Structure 1
């Protein structure tokens, strides 16, 4: 029988708790953070100070993603040159790449574009957390807006909203990119979703309906028959990247599942295929650098860049 949970509580924290803080010490100093639980088995850490990205997700207490040695780094330390982006790349559950560049560093029309663009180091503004009734239950939303803009250039806003329902071990991420300029402005967007130990280990299964796979380079080509395999950590390890053509279901959605049968934990990710038609798999199984990236994109990672003829 349906139960009005609000008749049993005095404060929303009894159902879904939310804590906001600013971090102290080292290069994380001052970064705004939101920690929440959904009243079920899901705990999330969102960083408004870093593009509203997901630093960590836990399910039934188990960590689901990788965290790099640099840890959380404030945007003030971001260096846009070459691959210096990696010094701020804590990896986490989600790092947003874009909006004017994705992929390897490049020089286009005399402008240097650093690895994966600037978006991941844009702090959010107009951040809001709300908990509202949803029928007899509760819904939690966390939202904020990132501004990627300059004079004589782009003037873009990315508005992000996370939606959680009480006790449901799932969430929805909704992004809207708006051009506030007066001329057409394309954008590139990659959702760098990353999995780590203990979800990721030799027992982990990759469930991906791939219609075709292409290696990014010669080394990945040598290992292409093993793209589904998760090996134990080794050193040294050379990363492998694969580009997949994904199937769509009857609703026009694509997705994948990362599942650990021995721990009985897994993650399902899905999206509208028309919005994000491209997909990259990043396999990096080194000692201390043990991570699987599964990344939907709105354009090919190594495709034509903004401003190229």
Structure 2
């Protein structure tokens, strides 16, 4: 039974008070109409609690704008949610078409920094190797929208959307991502369930990363990371001490990335949050360690690009070639697949922040 605007109402009592569910909550398909965003489809979700978010259909069903009570949770780049037809997949071209948003998916056959790797498994002599750009291709691929809407289960209502993204090439990979996004009316969170399948006939490498981008006002002077870390490793020549505390925007700031070993709860889930106690606003993610064994923090506390990434991943920050050398690069056989589950949500008020902090603290070592 959803709690809407201070009242707990069953389906019958709610529908007696409104003309259609959209008055209180719902999902709406729209298209953007101007500039580089023209023609990009969005699904606008409203859960009735003040929690709202956009699913960007033409960008792999990633999560764009996300707000709690009108206050943004994610970071938006100057690019906007430009059409995938502007994609520049080579090298660092990803950054020219990256709108930010709360969630950007990296994959399906490559994530992290650029690499050149063997393509011999595709049996095409003119292509002995393949060059991979930053974070792969999937976030710049439009989805085939399979459906969206509302589903009642007794007095509970679920908002949902589902689609399929195909990353394929002749004499190359043929990978399919089927994504389902759900949010419950009366709650301030969303859940993503992803299924990645090798739909081709050649063994194909697979890498996957959720680039979750938390922005102002959650990230601000004095904000903090909540993570059950058992150890922290900087990716560069800087100290890990204090990596969980954030400062205001700095001119000329150079990104810092930290890989940490996080403890899981009894059921295998890992809770991570970014919170601003001064403003009483926070964000959290929950993922499964058995699906995504690695996790990074991207501290980019510069002017304009003022964002903290909390990023579950199949692989270490060292990337593709390191994974291959370690024997950790996933290779999907024909017909083989992997599943991934991610929960993203708002922490509205210091009571919710403190409750989540206790959940994380319970996992910290002695």
State the match for 1:15 in structure 2. Answer: 24
**Contact persistence 1:102–1:301 (CA under 8 A):** no
Match of 2:141 among 119, 122, 147: 122
Q: Residues 115-158 of structure 1, C-alpha deviation per residue, up to 9 Å, x if partnerless?
A: 11000001000341120112113111111111011121211111
Counterpart Cα distance in 1 of 2:232 and 2:165: 33
Counterpart Cα distance in 2 of 1:34 and 1:149: 25
Counterpart Cα distance in 2 of 1:308 and 1:274: 19
| 1:90 equivalent in alignment to 2:102 | no
SS at match of 1:173: strand
State the match for 1:24 in structure 2. Answer: 33
| 1:132 equivalent in alignment to 2:151 | yes
SS at match of 1:198: coil
Match of 2:84 among 61, 64, 75: 75
Counterpart Cα distance in 1 of 2:39 and 2:245: 40
Q: CA deviation at 1:14?
A: 2.7
Match of 1:53 among 45, 62, 83: 62
In structure 2, runs of 5+ residues without a counterpart are: 2-7, 119-128, 326-366
SS at match of 2:204: coil
Residues 190-199 or 134-143, more deviating:
134-143
In structure 1, runs of 5+ residues without a counterpart are: none
**Contact persistence 2:28–2:43 (CA under 8 A):** yes
State the match for 1:141 in structure 2. Answer: 160
Q: CA deviation at 1:6?
A: 3.2
Q: CA deviation at 1:308?
A: 5.2
Normalised to the residue count of structure 1, the TM-score between the two structures is 0.94
Residues 6-15 or 103-112, more deviating:
6-15
Q: Residues 19-41 of structure 1, C-alpha deviation per residue, up to 9 Å, x if partnerless?
A: 21111222111111111210112
State the match for 1:262 in structure 2. Answer: 278
Counterpart Cα distance in 2 of 1:306 and 1:6: 57
| 1:276 equivalent in alignment to 2:282 | no
State the match for 2:75 in structure 1. Answer: 66
State the match for 1:172 in structure 2. Answer: 191
Match of 1:233 among 249, 257, 268: 249
| 1:192 equivalent in alignment to 2:196 | no
Counterpart Cα distance in 1 of 2:322 and 2:243: 30
The alignment of Structure 1 onto Structure 2 pairs a total of residues equal to 306
Q: CA deviation at 1:226?
A: 2.2
Normalised to the residue count of structure 2, the TM-score between the two structures is 0.80
Q: Residues 73-95 of structure 1, C-alpha deviation per residue, up to 9 Å, x if partnerless?
A: 11111011110110011111000
State the match for 2:108 in structure 1. Answer: 99
**Contact persistence 1:108–1:307 (CA under 8 A):** no
State the match for 2:350 in structure 1. Answer: none
